[in-house]
Amino acid sequence: MPTLKQLDECPNCHLPILLSDRFCEGCGQLLDNFGNASLTCPKCGAAAPLDSDGYCSHCGVRAETSADHIEIRLSANLAGVSDRGLVHAHNEDALALYGSDQVQILVVCDGVSCSYRPQLASGCAAQTICEALVDQADTDPADAILAAVARAQLAVAAILHPSGAEASATTVVAAVCKAGRATIGWLGDSRAYWVAAEPNAAEPNAPSAVQLSQDHSWQAHAITRWLGADAEAGVPDLVTVPLLSSGCLLLCSDGLWNYTEASSLAELVSMEAEAAVIAQQLVDYACAQGAHDNVTVAVYKFAL
């Protein structure tokens, strides 16, 4: 096992850091290979100008925020928020988004808390999967998700961990929306929901919100599938659904769904609001309930 060389401390918040760290887990400060602070976006590393609201013009992250609270707004219809919550010391969730005229990509990952540096696993997986899906935007979405998750499995499994520590691990839920269809793939208990903008006139008793994914877990959050070096089954389950009406596709970590059922989720979503506002409202709701876990929500508003 290679030795992990520890540097002195983060130059911004003074938390101990490692040579392999790309950012400080305490404050989100981007680092170079020598532990120096980098005067660039803390999420994507681009030396890109900020817009009037403080968002990075390259990746959409509000660049002045730390890793404990990340906001990404790519458009009025595509955004996400990841928050530390009220109990955890660090944010071990991650999200990544991409949007164009042809395709929207959403990825939410929840680092497994008992594993080594779970925030590294979630961040690595979210970024790797999103980048792979962008590269394969012209291919079949189901095939693209399978290939992207396989690439992320290799990347997360390569994260070094000390002897005796659990290998870094993370859940993932990812969605590719294009041509009026949404394809979702997942490992673990991060979820995807569809929330209809209006009741179905043809089926008035149909629920306004439905869970699209099925958890890989048992006995209260003991997940049975994940990404990481010790993952036994790294192939995600997949589902493709037609988008036949206006509504919201929501991807979230268990920090949100711990506090709400699908049947009541529609009551928490303000359909007239932008995606960024919806995501923040759902995070605020989880915080109002106690937010015992990190909370991450990604939102794509679809309109016919």
Per the model's pLDDT, the better-predicted residue between 98 and 1 turns out to be: 98
Size (the chain), residues: 304
Stretch among 20-24, 103-107, 135-139, 165-169 having the lowest mean pLDDT: 20-24
Q: Where are the beta strands (DSSP E) in 18-149?
A: 69-75, 78-83, 93-99, 104-111
Strand pairing report for 209-211 and 295-302: unpaired
Model pTM above 0.85 = no
- Sorted by where each begins, the domain ranges of the chain are 76-302
Region 227-244: what's the mean pLDDT?
92
pLDDT digits (tens, 9 = 90+) for 36-67: 333 446 556 565 555 645 567 777 766 544 67
Q: If you write DSSP's letter for every residue of 57-79 in order, what string do you get? A: TTT-BBTTS-TTEEEEEEETTEE
pLDDT at 241 over 80: yes
Mean of the per-residue pLDDT values of the chain: 84
DSSP designation for 166: P
Under the banding of pLDDT at 50, 70 and 90, the label for residue 18 is low
Q: What is the mean pLDDT of residues 283-297?
A: 96
DSSP letter string, 194-258: EEESS--SS-TTS-SEEE-S---EETTTEES--EETT-S--PPEEEEEE--SSEEEEEE-HHHHT
What integer pLDDT is reported at residue 304 of this predicted model?
Answer: 85
Task: Give the per-residue pLDDT at 47.
Answer: 53
Supply the pLDDT for residue 36.
36
Q: What fold characterizes domain 76-302?
A: Phosphatase 2c; domain 1 (3.60.40)
DSSP state of 154: H
Give dist(CA 262, CA 193) in Å, integer.
Answer: 8
